[in-house]
């Protein structure tokens, strides 16, 4: 058992080392940076429209960045992250090296998936840190925003980011499984973008199917209001969408492990 865990540990460390030495790491930071930077630029060019006196400016700033992140950025980001992580091996001709390592192929499969999930986590943590840094920067540029006089609601912020993270796990597992099966970049990105567009249409049309479609789950996160009001939306999300998400995540991971184990016993 210890030997088994040690094999996982060394493979995860190897995959992590590879991720930080390749363009994957840029993808992780750029995704978060673009969101917060984009919202900050809107604040800078429309100061009067963004100032909301006597309310916590952090609430609005966090909600706006979270909405942009959840609706526009995170899905394309995870589609690119999963597709590029596997395509990197195809382009470098390294699959056969990974598959001739003295370990079960399912170890490679799971370790890679863990590192992709870890990269998503790092991206969201970076996003959180950048929100705070750029909020303070906006305050230095325009003290009228009054960021310095208020404290962000860290627990709600953490809850929202966690929510977003969980909402993406189903899509990650499916996209990763698809990338590994096809060993291609075009097909998984095509499927991912199609899912994103359908999800976006369902979400904007407020269609009931958005609750059952994993590509729309992240978009349904509505920021602080969803948690603060303990609204029906929130409960429904964790009940229905959360269940489908968990099933997709566990299902596609187990399917991938089963298929990889089938190749080498």
Partner 1 sequence: MTAIPNIIELEGVSFGYNKQSLLLDQLTLKIPQHAIYGFIGHNGAGKTTTMRLILGLLQPQAGKISVFGKEGKYNSVSMLARTGSLIETPPLYEMMTAYGNLKLACKYLTLPYVRIDEVAEMVRLQGQLHKKVRQYSTGMKQRLGLALALLRDPDLLILDEPTNGLDPQGIKDFRLLMEQLRQMGKTIFLSSHLLSEVEKMATHVGILQEGKLRFSGTIAELNQARKRHLKVQVKVSAASRVNELISSHVLDHETLVLSVNNREELAGHIKKIINAGISVYEVVPQKSDLEEIFLDTLIPNPITLC
Q: Which stretch binds partner 1 (CB under 8 A): 20-28, 51-59, 217-225, 228-236?
A: 20-28
Estimate the crossing angle of helix 154-182 against helix 242-263, to 10 degrees.
Answer: 40
The size of the interface with partner 1 (CB under 8 A), counted in residues, is 26
Hey, which residues between 62 and 91 contact partner 1 (CB under 8 A)? Answer: 88
| Residue written as token pair 């099966």 | 181
> Nearer to partner 1 by C-beta: 51 or 88?
88
Tokens 């390294």 found at: 94
Please state the closest distance from residue 236 (CB atom) to partner 1, in A: 44
Q: Does 182 bind partner 1 (CB under 8 A)?
A: no
Q: Could you give the CA distance from residue 36 to residue 25 in angstroms, rounded to a whole number?
A: 18
* Residue 17 makes contact with partner 1 by CB under 8 A: yes
The least distance separating partner 1 from the CB of residue 53, rounded to whole angstroms, comes to: 50
Angle between helices 74-91 and 154-182 (to 10 degrees): 40
Q: Which two tokens stand for residue 181?
A: 């099966």
> Cβ neighbours of residue 60 under 8 Å, at least 6 residues apart?
50, 52
Nearer to partner 1, 98 or 202 (CB): 98
Least separation in angstroms between CB 155 and partner 1: 37
Residue 16, classified by CB atoms within 10 Å of its CB into exposed (0-12), middle (13-18) or buried (19+), is middle
6 lines the binding site for partner 1 (CB under 8 A): yes
Q: Residues 46, 55, 92, 204: which binds partner 1 (CB under 8 A)?
A: 92
- Give the one residue of 46, 55, 94, 225 binding partner 1; rule: CB under 8 A: 94
The token pair at 147 is 């960021």
Q: Using CB under 8 A, which of 97, 149, 238, 258 touches partner 1? A: 97
38 by Cβ neighbours in 10 Å (0-12 / 13-18 / 19+) ranks as middle
> Does the protein bind partner 1 through residue 258 (CB under 8 A)?
no
Binding test (CB under 8 A) with partner 1, winner from 37, 51, 103, 207: 103
Q: Tell me: does residue 102 bind partner 1 (CB under 8 A).
A: yes
What the block records as the tokens of 249 is: 């995540």
Helical pair 24-45 and 105-141, crossing angle rounded to 10 deg: 20
183 binds partner 1, rule: CB under 8 A = no
Q: What is the CA radius of gyration of the chain?
A: 20
For partner 1, the closer of residues 37 and 88 by Cβ is 88
Residues that bind partner 1 (CB under 8 A): 6, 10-11, 13-14, 17-18, 21-23, 88, 92-97, 99-104, 263-265
């Amino acid at each position: 058992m210890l030997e088994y865990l040690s094999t996982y540990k060394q493979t995860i460390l190897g995959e992590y080392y590879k991720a930080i030495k390749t363009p994957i790491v840029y993808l992780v930071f750029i995704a978060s940076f673009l969101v917060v930077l984009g919202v900050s630029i809107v604040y800078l060019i429309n100061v009067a429209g963004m100032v909301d006196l006597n309310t916590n400016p952090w609430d609005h700033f966090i909600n706006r960045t979270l909405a942009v992140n959840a609706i526009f950025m995170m899905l394309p980001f995870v589609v690119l992250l999963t597709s590029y992580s596997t395509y990197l091996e195809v382009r470098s001709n390294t699959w056969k090296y990974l598959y001739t390592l003295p370990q079960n192929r399912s170890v490679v499969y799971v370790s890679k998936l863990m590192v992709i999930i870890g990269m998503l986590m790092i991206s969201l943590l970076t996003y959180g840190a950048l929100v705070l840094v750029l909020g303070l920067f906006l305050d230095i540029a325009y003290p009228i925003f009054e960021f310095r006089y208020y404290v962000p609601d860290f627990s709600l912020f953490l809850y929202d980011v966690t929510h977003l993270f969980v909402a993406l796990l189903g899509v990650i597992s499916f996209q990763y499984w698809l990338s590994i099966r096809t060993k291609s970049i075009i097909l998984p990105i095509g499927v991912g973008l199609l899912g994103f567009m359908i999800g976006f249409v369902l979400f904007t049309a407020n269609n009931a199917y958005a609750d059952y479609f994993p590509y729309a789950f992240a978009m349904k996160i509505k920021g602080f209001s969803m948690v603060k009001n303990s609204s029906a939306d929130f409960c429904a999300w964790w009940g229905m969408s959360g269940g489908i998400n968990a099933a997709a995540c566990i299902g596609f991971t187990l399917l991938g492990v089963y298929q990889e184990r089938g190749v080498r016993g």
